[in-house]
């Protein structure tokens, strides 16, 4: 069955530290993969997406993600976290020929001053 | 200009009532969606419409009925509200049909059933 898994429910980092949020997927073919961010009380904002091509994708707000087929992963990274990055982060995937996203359960990021 | 808008933003109501949530997108997209986000932040798709036609209908109680008067609008009507319906409901839209495209989300409607 198709699935998207975010193994970490909570992550806490200090401001200025690097960040990596994990996302694993299970799809028969190469999936379309997305990272969204949800700030408290807000809707979801797209950070970046992977459809095909270069496996390292750049997004907004200094985020990047790397698609690794061998590990079935699409981890989100940021070299230096800012306090305003504190939010809930969702990985989502979709298969070719379907409208449907499957969302991971989210990772809540806390940033310490 | 708000790309995907929802009204109301907050909705507090009693059990057994009927309520509607409205969604509008001005992106010219063909496809619209309703998602439910529960108290644990889990997001699950409920419905999707493409050019006013229902294309996704997940396992949702039939108390929930979507209506798409035109491709820019997708409303959600809920009959006989129950406590378990309390959640945040997100509307989203995307451009193309038949393939996975980027979805753009509205700000959400926070529904509390007392």
Residue B107 has pLDDT above 80, yes or no: yes
Strands B31-37 and B43-50: antiparallel
Of the pLDDT bands very low, low, confident and very high (cuts 50, 70, 90), residue A100 is confident
Two tokens at A14? 């200090």
C-alpha to C-alpha distance for A28 and A43, rounded to whole angstroms: 30
**Residues from chain B contacting residue A44 (CB–CB below 8 Å):** 90, 92, 105
Q: Do B56 and A100 touch (CB under 8 A)?
A: yes
Report the candidate in B53, B49, B4, B45 with the shortest Cα–Cα distance to residue B28.
Answer: B4
Any idea which architecture B4-113 has in CATH? Sandwich (2.60)
Any idea what the CATH number is for the domain that residue A68 is in? 2.60.40.10
Site from B93, B100, B104, B107 to mutate, A interface, most A CB atoms within 10 angstroms: B100
> Hey, CA dihedral for A79, A85, A86, A87, is it positive or negative?
negative
Residue A82 is predicted with a pLDDT of 96
Contact A104, A90 (CB under 8 A): yes
Which residue from A36, A46, A99 is facing B55, i.e. has the nearest CB? A99
Q: Which two tokens stand for residue A97?
A: 């020929």
Answer yes or no: do A43 and B90 touch at CB < 8 A: yes
Q: Give me the residue spans of the domains in chain B.
A: 4-113
Number of domains in chain A: 1
Are B16 and A59 in contact, with CB atoms under 8 Å apart?
A: no
Lowest mean per-residue pLDDT among A89-98, B42-51, B73-82: A89-98
Structure confidence by residue, pLDDT tens digits, A85-95: 999 999 999 87
**By residue range, what is the domain housing residue A20?**
3-112
pLDDT(B1) > 80: no
Across the interface, whether the CB atoms of B44 and A98 are under 8 A apart is answered: no
Residues B17/B109, Cβ–Cβ less than 8 Å: no
Q: How far apart, in whole angstroms, are the C-alpha atoms of residue B40 and residue B84?
A: 13
Question: What is the rounded average pLDDT for all residues in chain B?
Answer: 91
Contact at CB, A99 and B102, closer than 8 angstroms: no
Render pLDDT for A17-31 as a digit per residue (tens, 0 to 9): 999 999 999 877 778
């Amino acid at each position: 069955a198709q699935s998207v898994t975010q193994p970490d429910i909570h992550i806490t980092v200090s401001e200025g530290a690097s960040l990596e949020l994990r996302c694993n997927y299970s799809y028969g073919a190469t999936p379309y993969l997305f990272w969204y961010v949800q700030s408290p009380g807000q809707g979801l904002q797209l950070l970046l997406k992977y459809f095909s091509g270069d496996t390292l994708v750049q997004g907004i707000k200094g985020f990047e993600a790397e698609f690794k087929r061998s590990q079935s992963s699409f981890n989100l990274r940021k070299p230096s976290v800012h306090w305003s990055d504190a939010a809930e982060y969702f990985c989502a995937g979709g298969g070719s020929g379907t409208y449907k996203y499957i969302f991971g359960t989210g990772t809540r990021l806390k940033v310490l001053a | 200009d708000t790309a995907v808008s929802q009204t109301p933003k907050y909705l507090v109501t009693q059990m057994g009532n009927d309520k509607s949530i409205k969604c509008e997108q001005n992106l010219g997209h063909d496809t619209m969606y309703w998602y439910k986000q529960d108290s644990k932040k889990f997001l699950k798709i409920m419905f999707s419409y493409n050019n006013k036609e229902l294309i996704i209908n997940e396992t949702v109680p039939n108390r929930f009925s979507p209506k798409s008067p035109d491709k820019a609008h997708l409303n959600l009507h809920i009959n006989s509200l129950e406590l378990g319906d309390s959640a945040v409901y997100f509307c989203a839209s995307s451009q193309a049909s038949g393939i996975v495209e980027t979805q753009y989300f509205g700000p959400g409607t926070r529904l509390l059933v007392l």
